[in-house]
A and B are shown apart, each in its own frame.
Chain A
């Protein structure tokens, strides 16, 4: 126990004296939250919209007004011909054009059918398709209102509702992602580097020749990183709650437990990496490639897992952060309880056991 405490103190000193590392460890979550929160905005806003309505009537005006009022759209005027419309579109002045059929109301009343054309500038496909989605939703809403007013029975309308994230705020998506990324970087990269550094500098030999048990040493090495990652987790949580306004809908205790499980998992991975490499540089590169890139690309932090090809979806299943991010989204954003995240918890638990097993099997009792 005395050895253990002496060793933990030593590890804390290493971290505290390395100003650059300390800055990275504590600054990274802050920078990432601010970066993703303000600089990298994945929401589509200020959709520039114009209308071409050859025969204005109650219905077309109703739809036009609703679009104008919506905060995601910026009204850019009425057009007087299709040519005008195309011209503005080509100049890049518009994101979306709404074109009504001639005699819209008349057609709707008599034949029950009327057409609206939504033209989007899809040179930015994401922006284009989201603009169309928003407009379609507004039109559907208007249509439903009218149907209710006219009291036509048995009219079934599809209803669009963005649940959990009615404002489509992307911070809801990336806050769990940043948690997954930051904890992975600190636990995996920092832990593996700190063990490999001892091998590289020769102090490992001295430790091996001492009565210090290897298990004690490794366990003592993980403690400071566990504490630091937990602090980082709390920093991210506070920043996203107070600055980005991301709610914690579920149990805070459950969220902390999920975080502790994930921290243990990523620490185990760091230990596994440290048994596989001998140089600090290699430890960084190996962890970056096997830990950081999969978190960014495959965990669902930025790109939804459901949109990936089957093969990548299967691969993403072995990325620990995927399960953590899903669990955090469920608890934090959707406010679900333990019964809804048992799958993620079990998978992460299994991964931890597997990695610890590999580490124990690969840890050399003596030098080769």
Chain B
């Protein structure tokens, strides 16, 4: 245990005069479920995009899955999964076509894709929907499928950007069960959310305010530090200091 899969120091991103991410330093351990919290506009998505090698940091350094985020972003991409805030599958493709496309993009062979597709559909109870166009699936199902596709190639880390936005609580529970299953398989989960009850499910959480990380610890420890009953209260105490909002 205790291998660090994400390690960053003073990671910064500026857009002109605006500092979206302001010298953040943290690390994430293998197999951990790491909650990345913050109000809208706090810089969560930008920070996550830098970790995924999509966005170039203005300053700072770090490694993800053992690769340098500035020089080796192409190698990082092979070892991570990514589920974006907007819906990340193709609506006009069938369920199996989406799986096959992303399997192909990540370089899996046809045989592996076929076996894994069957297993995946079986596990999700999706066998009936194999040929359904994704746009006809209910939102909760789409998100479960999008998550399964993001970890289809068995990445070391999966980045989830507000994966449960707009989904009802029952569906969110099911979604978190899937996250736990992935973590049990050794996949590190890096997840942003603004549902504070979800923060309780994480091993550790960081809370971003105005581009900085203002708190980082286990949910229990944070509640103790801030003398609060729930993560919601912790978050509100911190968010009150925020100067920029949405």
Contact = CB atoms under 8 A, between A and B. Distances in A.
Asked if chains A and B come from one complex, the reply is yes
B88 A203 contact: yes
Given A13-B97, A209-B54, A366-B56, A202 B104 contact: no
Contacts of A367: 49, 54-55
Interface stretch (B25-33, B74-82, B192-200): B74-82
Contacts of A208: 54
Contact of A6 (B52, B53, B92, B104): B104
B90 A14 contact: yes
B151 interface: no
A58 B85 CA distance: 90
Contact of B74 (A17, A201, A205, A211): A211
Contacts of B97: 10, 13
B128 to A, nearest CB: 21
Interface string A115-147: 000000000000000000000000000000000
Contacts of B74: 211
B120 interface: no
B77 A203 contact: no
A9 to B, nearest CB: 8
Nearest to B88: A206
Contacts of B103: 6
B123 to A, nearest CB: 22
Interface string A196-238: 0000011101111111100000000000000000000000000
A209 B90 contact: no
B90 to A, nearest CB: 6
Interface in B88-144: 88-93, 97, 100-107, 133
Interface size of B as a range: 35 or more
**Dominant SS among interface residues on chain A:** helix
A368 interface: yes
A2 interface: yes
Contacts of B101: 6-7, 9-10
Contacts of B107: 2-3, 211
Contact of A366 (B73, B86, B89, B93): B73
A18 B95 CA distance: 17
B82 A202 contact: no
A125 to B, nearest CB: 51
B102 A210 contact: yes
Contacts of A308: none
B86 A205 contact: yes
Contacts of A340: none
A7 B105 contact: yes
A190 to B, nearest CB: 15
B21 interface: no
A10 B93 CA distance: 8
A53 B243 CA distance: 96
A2 B87 CA distance: 25
Interface string A1-33: 011011101100110011000000000000000
B207 interface: no
B88 A14 contact: no
Given A202-B85, A206-B84, A5 B104 contact: yes
Interface in B29-52: 49, 52
Nearest to B97: A13
B100 A209 contact: no
Interface string A345-368: 000000000000000000001111
B50 to A, nearest CB: 9
Contacts of A211: 74, 77-78, 105-107
Given A206-B84, A209-B80, 13 more contacts: A3-B107, A6-B101, A6-B103, A14-B92, A202-B88, A203-B84, A203-B89, A206-B82, A206-B83, A209-B54, A211-B105, A366-B56, A366-B73
4 pairs of A and B residues whose beta carbons are closest in the complex: A202-B86, A6-B104, A209-B82, A206-B88
26 contacts: A3-B104, A3-B105, A5-B104, A6-B100, A6-B101, A6-B105, A7-B101, A7-B104, A10-B90, A10-B97, A13-B93, A13-B97, A14-B90, A14-B93, A18-B92, A201-B86, A201-B87, A202-B84, A203-B86, A209-B52, A210-B82, A210-B105, A210-B106, A366-B53, A367-B49, A367-B55
Interface of A: 2-3, 5-7, 9-10, 13-14, 17-18, 201-203, 205-212, 365-368
